[in-house]
């Protein structure tokens, strides 16, 4: 089973047709040489053939190290970047190939919260006009009094004082600026919200407030959320399902509890192993799986399995044959020839397998005997 018939069929079965379908999405940034006569000498393969679905009302997390392509994926989904190839379907409509008029209509349903609350707001505009922009662009609420009333309602909803309507972004704190960004993103009540590391630029004390705001808006507006982060603990509590990216590829997709409870891909295991344990002296001893070596250049990624230069389980096959993203005996889909075994997970992540019944998954589905891990080292 591959990602196309694995992730897709599983999602479609759970709740009808997916809201968003991504198929073989590719984004390569050309590398050129020469001053007058420029010629392309290579490409940065930021996103390289990824496929996934997102159901209506679901929260999908996308995690990975810096440079793995998660932010590029976010921009491709809302067409802030044009893909090199591949397909993005939003309610069956082609996003990747949409022309200007169709794209404007689509963007009313798909909005984005940006990582940096400082640079994502125009410093010359008042908060009122920033949040009112979506209504003006889409020709809604043309009467200024009604528009102002709606903007002030939105400010109140996201926890800002509506009396600060005429203030400028620099008069707000980082957390308040991110709330302005959230208010602008939900102004048109979109169906899909793509949040690109929305709390990573904020103080820890503020992060929980913004996350709670996103959760409550999701429930209230019935939003579908794609939540991009490098903080695994944040993703766990926000997301129904998590996709792990490495060097432009999705290497593992699983329901949140499954991914944290029984990661199958060694890269996912290494990410989880790096998360500090709150009480190391009270917990069981664990053998941390530390990654060695630098992340390879996305302009020249390793052949076959891209993780093989850093993987502690790498064997000869890993550098010869690219592993497919497929089921590994659990509900997890992992792109690995030799996925982590339960013993390895117990050793490296002793807190991970703490579930009511390890013979079932987080949803009570019995585990299938894993054949693929028997040949692992
Ligand atoms: Fe490691 Fe091989 Fe799996 Fe790649 S395919 S993650 S190198 S074990």
105-153 pLDDT tens trace: 999 999 999 988 888 899 999 999 999 999 999 999 989 999 999 999 9
270 CB less than 6 Å from ligand 1? no
Q: Ligand 1 centroid to 318 CA: how many Å?
A: 6
Q: Ligand 1 centroid to 337 CA: how many Å?
A: 6
311 CB less than 6 Å from ligand 1? yes
337 CB less than 6 Å from ligand 1? yes
- Mean per-residue pLDDT over the chain, rounded: 84
Categorize the per-residue pLDDT at 5 as very low, low, confident or very high, splitting at 50, 70 and 90. Answer: very low
Q: What is the pLDDT of residue 368?
A: 37
308 CB less than 6 Å from ligand 1? yes
Q: What is the pLDDT of residue 10?
A: 40
214 CB less than 6 Å from ligand 1? no
Q: What is the pLDDT of residue 363?
A: 38
The residue whose two tokens read 């999405």 is 25
Categorize the per-residue pLDDT at 352 as very low, low, confident or very high, splitting at 50, 70 and 90. Answer: low
Strand partners, 113: 195
Given a contact cutoff of 8 angstroms between Cβ atoms, the answer to whether 24 and 87 are in contact is: yes
Instruction: Collect all residues with Cβ–Cβ distance below 8 Å to 136 and sequence separation of at least 6.
Output: 147
Q: Whose CA is nearest to atom 3 of ligand 1?
A: 336
Mean pLDDT of 346-363: 53
Categorize the per-residue pLDDT at 294 as very low, low, confident or very high, splitting at 50, 70 and 90. Answer: confident
- Least confidently predicted of 24-38, 285-299, 321-335, 353-367: 353-367
Answer whether residue 356 shows pLDDT above 90.
Answer: no
Q: What is the pLDDT of residue 9?
A: 40
Pocket residue to mutate for ligand 1, from 289, 318, 372, most atoms within 8 A of Cβ:
318
Given a contact cutoff of 8 angstroms between Cβ atoms, the answer to whether 293 and 310 are in contact is: yes
pTM of the predicted structure, to 2 decimals: 0.84
Given a contact cutoff of 8 angstroms between Cβ atoms, the answer to whether 117 and 98 are in contact is: no
Given a contact cutoff of 8 angstroms between Cβ atoms, the answer to whether 21 and 87 are in contact is: yes
Q: Ligand 1 centroid to 336 CA: how many Å?
A: 5
Answer whether residue 286 shows pLDDT above 90.
Answer: no
Q: Which range, 38-42, 240-244, 286-290, is most confident?
A: 240-244
Answer whether residue 41 shows pLDDT above 90.
Answer: no
Q: What is the pLDDT of residue 329?
A: 78
Categorize the per-residue pLDDT at 370 as very low, low, confident or very high, splitting at 50, 70 and 90. Answer: very low
The conformation of residue 351, written as its DSSP 8-state character, comes to T
For the stretch 203-254, pLDDT in tens is 888 888 899 999 999 999 999 999 999 878 788 878 999 999 999 999 999 9
pLDDT above 90 coverage of the chain, percent: 59
Strands (E) in 141-290, as ranges, are 192-196, 224-229, 241-246, 249-255
**Cα 312–chain centre separation:** 26
The C-alpha angle 37, 43, 46, rounded to 5 degrees, equals: 145
The C-alpha angle 102, 105, 108, rounded to 5 degrees, equals: 150
Provide the token pair at 149: 């009333």
Ligand 1: which atom is nearest the Cα of residue 339?
A: 3
Answer whether residue 372 shows pLDDT above 60.
Answer: no
Q: Whose CA is nearest to atom 5 of ligand 1?
A: 336
| Cα–Cα distance for residue pair 248/133, rounded to 1 Å | 33
Answer whether residue 3 shows pLDDT above 70.
Answer: no
- Least confidently predicted of 23-37, 308-322, 346-360: 346-360
Categorize the per-residue pLDDT at 53 as very low, low, confident or very high, splitting at 50, 70 and 90. Answer: very high
Query: Which one has a higher pLDDT value, 37 or 250?
Result: 250
307 CB less than 6 Å from ligand 1? yes
Strand partners, 42: 31
Given a contact cutoff of 8 angstroms between Cβ atoms, the answer to whether 186 and 107 are in contact is: no
Ligand 1: which atom is nearest the Cα of residue 376?
A: 8
Pocket residue to mutate for ligand 1, from 306, 311, 317, 326, most atoms within 8 A of Cβ:
311
Ligand 1: which atom is nearest the Cα of residue 305?
A: 4
Q: What is the dihedral of CA 94, 22, 235, 187, to 10 degrees?
A: 0
Pocket residue to mutate for ligand 1, from 64, 244, 250, 266, most atoms within 8 A of Cβ:
266
Ligand 1: which atom is nearest the Cα of residue 308?
A: 7
Q: Which range, 23-37, 160-174, 262-276, is most confident?
A: 160-174
Ligand 1: which atom is nearest the Cα of residue 314?
A: 7
């Amino acid at each position: 089973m591959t990602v196309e018939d694995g992730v897709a069929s599983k999602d479609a079965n759970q709740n009808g047709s997916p809201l968003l379908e991504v198929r073989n999405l590719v984004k390569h940034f050309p590398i050129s040489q020469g001053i007058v006569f420029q010629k392309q000498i290579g490409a940065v393969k930021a996103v390289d053939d990824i496929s996934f679905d997102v159901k209506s009302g679901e929260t999908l997390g996308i995690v990975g190290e810096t440079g793995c392509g998660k932010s590029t994926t976010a921009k491709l989904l809302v067409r802030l970047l044009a893909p090199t190839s591949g397909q993005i379907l939003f309610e069956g409509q082609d996003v990747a190939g949409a022309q200007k008029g169709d794209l404007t209509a689509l963007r009313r349903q798909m909005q984005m919260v940006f990582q940096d609350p400082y640079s994502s707001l125009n410093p010359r505009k008042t908060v009122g006009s920033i949040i009112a922009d979506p209504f003006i662009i889409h020709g809604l609420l043309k009467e200024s009094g009604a528009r102002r009333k709606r903007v002030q309602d939105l400010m109140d909803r996201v926890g800002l004082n509506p009396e600060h309507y005429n203030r400028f972004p620099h008069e707000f704190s980082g957390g308040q600026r991110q709330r302005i960004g959230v208010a602008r993103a939900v102004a048109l009540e979109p169906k899909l919200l793509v949040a690109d590391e929305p709390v990573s630029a904020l103080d820890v004390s503020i992060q929980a407030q913004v996350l709670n705001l996103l959760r409550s808006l999701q429930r209230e507006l019935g939003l579908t959320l794609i939540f991009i982060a490098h903080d695994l603990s944040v993703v766990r509590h926000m997301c129904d399902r998590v996709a792990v990216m490495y060097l432009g590829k999705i290497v593992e997709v699983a329901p949140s509890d499954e991914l944290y409870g029984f990661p199958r891909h060694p890269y996912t295991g290494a990410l989880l192993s790096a998360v500090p344990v709150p009480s190391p002296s009270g917990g069981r001893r664990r053998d941390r799986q530390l990654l060695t070596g630098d992340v390879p250049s996305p302009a020249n990624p390793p052949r076959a399995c891209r993780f093989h230069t850093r993987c502690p389980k790498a064997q000869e096959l890993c550098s010869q044959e690219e592993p497919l993203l497929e089921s590994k005996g659990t509900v997890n889909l992992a792109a690995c020839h030799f996925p982590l075994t339960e013993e390895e997970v117990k050793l490296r992540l002793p807190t991970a397998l703490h579930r009511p019944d390890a013979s079932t998954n987080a949803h009570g589905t019995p585990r299938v005997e894993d054949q693929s891990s028997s040949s692992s080292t």
